Amino acid sequence: MKVLKQHYADFSGRARRKEYWMFTLVNIIIAFVFGFVCGLIKLPALSMVYSLAVLVPGIAVTARRLHDIGKSGWFMLIALIPLVGLYLIYVLTLEGDNGNNAYGPNPKAVLA
């Protein structure tokens, strides 16, 4: 929820793996349930509204996760290349840079 409340369209800074993957997991679960319910009541427009509502924070948290690894947010465009885009999933699982990098302080150090 922190991603939606505090960092809705925040493309600066760094995001820990936990923040990124928890947002992704919760988003997938909600989208699945919402899509299923909307399919049952034959109102798919509501599902599209949810998808559009979480599009910007999804891109923002991905950019901040890439910043934690020391890569530019533009690196997520690699996902548009078939098969090569799978490399992005691998990169998103890597541990972030220790200490400060060009995008800010280590979020793990800030929490400790």
Going by pLDDT thresholds of 50, 70 and 90, the confidence category of residue 72 is very high
Q: What is the mean pLDDT of residues 70-88?
A: 95
Domain that holds residue 16: 2-101
Residue 89 half-sphere exposure, CB side, CA atoms within 13 Å? Answer: 8
- How far apart CA 66 and CA 83 sit, in angstroms, is 19
Q: What is the pLDDT of residue 54?
A: 94
pLDDT exceeds cutoff 70 at 102? yes
Whole-model pTM? 0.90
Please state, rounded to an integer, the average pLDDT across all residues of the chain.
Answer: 92
Q: Note whether residue 111 is domain-resident.
A: no
Is residue 49 a contact partner of residue 1, using CB atoms and an 8 Å limit?
Answer: no
Q: What is the mean pLDDT of residues 57-78?
A: 96
Q: Note whether residue 107 is domain-resident.
A: no
Q: Could you give the number of structural domains in the chain?
A: 1
Q: Note whether residue 112 is domain-resident.
A: no
Is residue 25 a contact partner of residue 103, using CB atoms and an 8 Å limit?
Answer: no
Q: What is the pLDDT of residue 38?
A: 92
Q: What is the mean pLDDT of residues 17-31?
A: 94
- How far apart CA 59 and CA 64 sit, in angstroms, is 9
